[in-house]
Amino acid sequence: MFRVFDQKSETQVFMVEDPRRAGFRGDVEEGVSLEYNTEETFLWPEGADIPDPCVGRSRENSKHYKVFKYQQDLHGAEYEFVSHGVPFVTVSWRDYVRLRLNPPGPEQIDEEDWYNYLDKVDDEARRLGQRTPWPEAPEDASRDSVAQWLAKQHFITDPTIREIWYLPNGAPKDEIRFLEISERVTGNEEKVEPFDFRVDILGSQYRLFIADMGGDQLDIIKHDAAALPPGWTLHGNTIWRRRAA
């Protein structure tokens, strides 16, 4: 793997292909490795400090880098501080220049281009064993806008998600409910058990409930809504899909 620093965006960029083959003329570090658990980095349980990620370099192996959730975690390990924020992980410098730090949203490009972008993210994530950074912010702090923004992030950061069901009907105004249909979830459990997160977007706080499930479990819920958590309903939902069938 290769590492470069994009001074314009102040971003650490890690890639599989040598960026000099694509015309990059800056400093290039070869033979590096990166440890980056996106779920752990951005997980924000209620009552915890907001994640403040940074990149560190191992003092024992100067070619090994790691993303830390908090800077104090870096200081407690055998790592030296490199930069604030998360790195951008991609296949080539050319792809990085094309995608940059603001992945396009469905409202910005044609639907087919959006799906093609997600396919590229999937391919890169599978090849690299890593996940890509999140777009910057929703259009506004309304619940529907935040929900749509969060759904985009989850599609980008988890290639196994095929559908996200947004269930606002009957939910409190500060609550976002997701059913996420994922290839990595198997089984047909009778009850849905959502995870509870807290998100603070543009000064507005929401409780985010996410229930991961497989396609078989979704079929059960469609026929028996009693499997949903109390107060949840499929009526009035919005469904986002990775790619239309």
Domain that holds residue 86: 2-101
207 occurs within a structural domain: yes
- The number of domains in the chain is 2
Q: What would the mean pLDDT of 15-43 be, rounded to a whole number?
A: 85
Amino acid 129: pLDDT: 44
Residues 97 and 150 both lie in one domain: no
Give residue 56's identity as a one-letter amino acid code: G
43 occurs within a structural domain: yes
128 occurs within a structural domain: no
130 occurs within a structural domain: no
Residues 147 and 97 both lie in one domain: no
From 67, 101, 135, the end of a domain falls on 101
195 occurs within a structural domain: yes
Say which CATH number the domain at 232 has: 3.30.460
Q: What would the mean pLDDT of 86-112 be, rounded to a whole number?
A: 65
Give DSSP secondary structure letters for 221-239: HHH-GGGSPTT--STT-EE
54 occurs within a structural domain: yes
Q: Note the pLDDT tens digit of each residue in 157-199.
A: 677 788 999 999 999 999 999 999 887 776 666 677 888 878 8
Residues 90 and 178 both lie in one domain: no
Residues 156 and 73 both lie in one domain: no
Amino acid 128: pLDDT: 46
Residues 148 and 235 both lie in one domain: yes
Residues 93 and 8 both lie in one domain: yes
Percent of the chain with pLDDT over 70: 79
Handedness of CA 89, 90, 95, 98 (dihedral sign): negative
User: Do 98 and 109 contact (CB within 8 A), yes or no?
Assistant: no
More confident residue, 214 or 114: 214
From 101, 128, 155, the end of a domain falls on 101
95 occurs within a structural domain: yes
How would residue 67 be classed by pLDDT, with cut points 50, 70 and 90? Answer: very high
138 occurs within a structural domain: no
Angle made by CA atoms 33, 38, 154, in degrees to the nearest 5: 135
How would residue 75 be classed by pLDDT, with cut points 50, 70 and 90? Answer: confident
If phi > 0 it is left, if psi is from -120 to 50 it is alpha, else beta; for residue 71 that is alpha
pTM for the complete prediction?
A: 0.48
From 101, 130, 162, the end of a domain falls on 101
